[in-house]
Amino acid sequence: MRPGAGEVPAATDGPGAGGQDGDGLDGEGAAERGSGPGLTVRGLTVRFGATVAVDAVDLDLLPGGILALLGASGSGKSSLLRGIAGLEPLAAGRVRWDGVDVTAVPVHKRGFGVMFQDGQLFPHRDVGGNVAYGLPALGGRGRARRVAELLDLVGLAGFERRAITSLSGGQAQRVALARALAPQPRLLLLDEPLSALDRALREHLVGVLRSTLRATGTTAIYVTHDQDEAFAVADRIAMLRDGAIVQLDSPERLWHAPADAGVAAFLGYAPLLGEQDAAALGWPDPIPPEHVLAVAPGGLIARPADQGDDSADAGPAGAILAIGEQIDHRGYVTVEVELPSRTRAEAQASHRVAGETAYVRLVAGRCVAVPRVAQPR
Ligand SMILES: Nc1ncnc2c1ncn2[C@@H]1O[C@H](COP(=O)(O)OP(=O)(O)OP(=O)(O)O)[C@@H](O)[C@H]1O
C-alpha cells in the first residue's frame, strides 16, 4: 500500500449532511469543514419509492485508499456506489472530492471511472481500441505505448489486435480494467467486477486487480458480496446492512472484532454460542450481557469420545455431545453436533468420528465475544 493510503473516520456531521436542500449545487463549491482530501460523502441517501436503499451514509476515502463495500444482497452496496458515481439520483446528501462538491456534476465530468460486472466493452473495437477509448489526446505513438503498458499491467501484453468476441470472460474483464484505468480516474468505482466469473478465475483475477490498483496508486471503491474478495483487495472494508454502514475497519480488525453477531455470521463465524452452550463447552470467561460467543472456522473441534479430553494443552475443556451427519472436505470433516441448548452446529474433525457421540471443544484463540446487535454508525 502506498504511504498515506487508506480511509479516515467520517466526521460526525458534515456540512450538508442529511439533505439535498438546494444550497448552491453548482459542483464547484469551496472546500468546507469536514471534507478533506479525496472522497467525502455525507448523508448520502438513495430511495426507490418507499425503499430506502442507502440511509444517510457518511464515508471518507483518502487518495490511494481501496475501500470494499461488503454486505448481503440488497444491503445497498450498488446503490451507494452508484450514488457516489452520480448514476443514481440522491434523495439527500453530498459527494465531495478534495473538498469540492460534485453532487450536481454529471457522471462523466466527475473524473470518476466505473467498472461493472459485465465489463461493457465495445464489441466493434478491438482490445487496443477499447483501452485507447478513454485515453486523453496523446499522439499516435504515445497512445500505443500507453495501451501496451496498461495491457501489460493486467497480464494481456500483445492483445491489442484481438477481437473482443474472441476473449474469455476473464480476459474481457482484464481489458475492462485496463480501459477503466486508462484515463487515470481520480476514483475508480468497481461494481462486482468479478462476480460473473467462475471461482478459480475470480481467485486469480482478484490478485491481478489488487496488484494493478496498488501499482497505479488508484483510489478505489470495490463492491462485492464475496468476503474473500473484499479481504484480498481492500485496505478498509465497510460492512453494509439495510443501507447503513455497521462497521468500517481494516480487514484484520473486521475479522478479529466483528461489530455484532450479524457481521460475524456474514464473515463466516459459526456457531454463535449463547452463555449456556459456551459454559457447557468449558468456556472460562463470562459472556457479557447481550453478547454471543462467535466461533471462527476451526474453532469448534470434534474427536472420538473414547480418546477423551486433550484440553490440558489445548484450551477450554469440552463436552461429550451427540453427533449427526458428517461431511468430507479437503483436509477435514465437518461433524454435526447437538449443543446443550439443543441447537445444532458444525464441528471440525481431522477424520470421521465413529459412534453416536464425540468429544467437542472450543479453541480459545478462535472465539470472540460480540454484541448481539450493534447500532449502525
Ligand atoms: N432500480 C431499483 N428499483 C427499485 N428498487 C431497487 C432498485 N435498485 C435497488 N433497489 C432496492 O434497493 C435495495 C438495495 O439494493 P442494492 O442493489 O443497492 O443492494 P446490493 O447490496 O448491491 O445488492 P446485490 O448484492 O444483490 O447487488 C434493495 O432493497 C433493492 O431491492
pLDDT tens for 14-71 read: 323 333 333 333 334 444 555 679 999 999 999 999 999 999 999 999 999 999 999 9
Mutation test of ligand 1: which of 44, 48, 82 has the most ligand atoms closer than 8 Å to its C-beta?
48
Q: Which of 256, 277, 298 is the last residue of a domain?
A: 256
Query: Is any atom of ligand 1 closer than 6 Å to the C-beta of 71?
Result: yes
- Cβ–Cβ < 8 Å for 133, 183: no
Question: Is 277 found in the same domain as 235?
Answer: no
Q: What is the largest CA-CA distance in the chain?
A: 77
Give residue 303 CA to ligand 1 midpoint distance, Å.
Answer: 44
Mutation test of ligand 1: which of 69, 77, 82, 239 has the most ligand atoms closer than 8 Å to its C-beta?
77
Question: Is 354 found in the same domain as 205?
Answer: no
Check pLDDT > 60 for residue 313: no
Name the residue among 3, 11, 72 with its Cα closest to residue 42.
11
Helices (H) and strands (E) in the chain, counts: 9, 18
Q: Evaluate whether residue 278 is within a structural domain.
A: yes
Question: Is 307 found in the same domain as 251?
Answer: no
Name the residue among 367, 255, 351, 355 with its Cα closest to residue 318.
367
**Which residues does 295 contact at the CB level (< 8 Å), separation at least 6?**
269, 270, 271, 272, 273, 345, 362, 366, 367
pLDDT tens for 123-157 read: 999 999 999 987 877 666 788 999 999 999 888 99
Query: Is any atom of ligand 1 closer than 6 Å to the C-beta of 51?
Result: yes
Give residue 16 CA to ligand 1 midpoint distance, Å.
Answer: 25
The CATH number of the domain holding residue 204 is 3.40.50.300
pLDDT at residue number 21: 34
Query: Is any atom of ligand 1 closer than 6 Å to the C-beta of 73?
Result: yes
Strands 51-61 and 39-48: antiparallel
Q: Evaluate whether residue 31 is within a structural domain.
A: no
pLDDT at residue number 24: 33
Query: Is any atom of ligand 1 closer than 6 Å to the C-beta of 225?
Result: yes
pLDDT at residue number 195: 85
Question: Is 293 found in the same domain as 332?
Answer: yes
The DSSP string of 40-85 is EEEEEEEEETTEEEEEEEEEEE-TT-EEEEEESTTSSHHHHHHHHH
Question: Is 292 found in the same domain as 331?
Answer: yes
CA–CA separation, 319 and 360 (whole Å): 5
pLDDT tens for 362-371 read: 998 999 999 9
Q: Evaluate whether residue 172 is within a structural domain.
A: no
Q: Which atom of ligand 1 is nearest to the CA of 81?
A: 18
pLDDT at residue number 34: 57
- Cβ–Cβ < 8 Å for 172, 138: no
Question: Is 214 found in the same domain as 275?
Answer: no
Give residue 6 CA to ligand 1 midpoint distance, Å.
Answer: 27
pLDDT at residue number 28: 40
The DSSP string of 115-183 is E-TT----TTSBHHHHHHHT--S--HHHHHHHHHHHHHHTT-TT-TT-BGGGS-HHHHHHHHHHHHHTT
Query: Is any atom of ligand 1 closer than 6 Å to the C-beta of 48?
Result: yes
Average pLDDT, the chain: 87
Neighbours of 324 (CB within 10 A): 12
The DSSP string of 290-347 is TEEEEE-TTSEEEEEGGG---GGGTSS--EEEEEEEEEEETTEEEEEEE-TTS-EEEE
The boundaries of the domain holding residue 277 are 265-371
Give residue 248 CA to ligand 1 midpoint distance, Å.
Answer: 21
CA–CA separation, 188 and 61 (whole Å): 12
Give residue 78 CA to ligand 1 midpoint distance, Å.
Answer: 7
**Amino acid, single-letter form, for residue 348:** Q
Helix, strand, or coil (residue 251):
helix
Check pLDDT > 60 for residue 288: yes
Q: Which residue's CA is minimally distant from atom 1 of ligand 1?
A: 48
pLDDT at residue number 79: 97
Q: Which atom of ligand 1 is nearest to the CA of 240?
A: 21
pTM score, whole prediction: 0.86
Percentage of residues in the chain having pLDDT higher than 90: 69
Q: Which residue's CA is minimally distant from atom 11 of ligand 1?
A: 53
Query: Is any atom of ligand 1 closer than 6 Å to the C-beta of 53?
Result: yes
pLDDT at residue number 364: 87
SS3 content of the chain, % helix, strand, coil (to 5): 25, 30, 45
pLDDT at residue number 65: 96
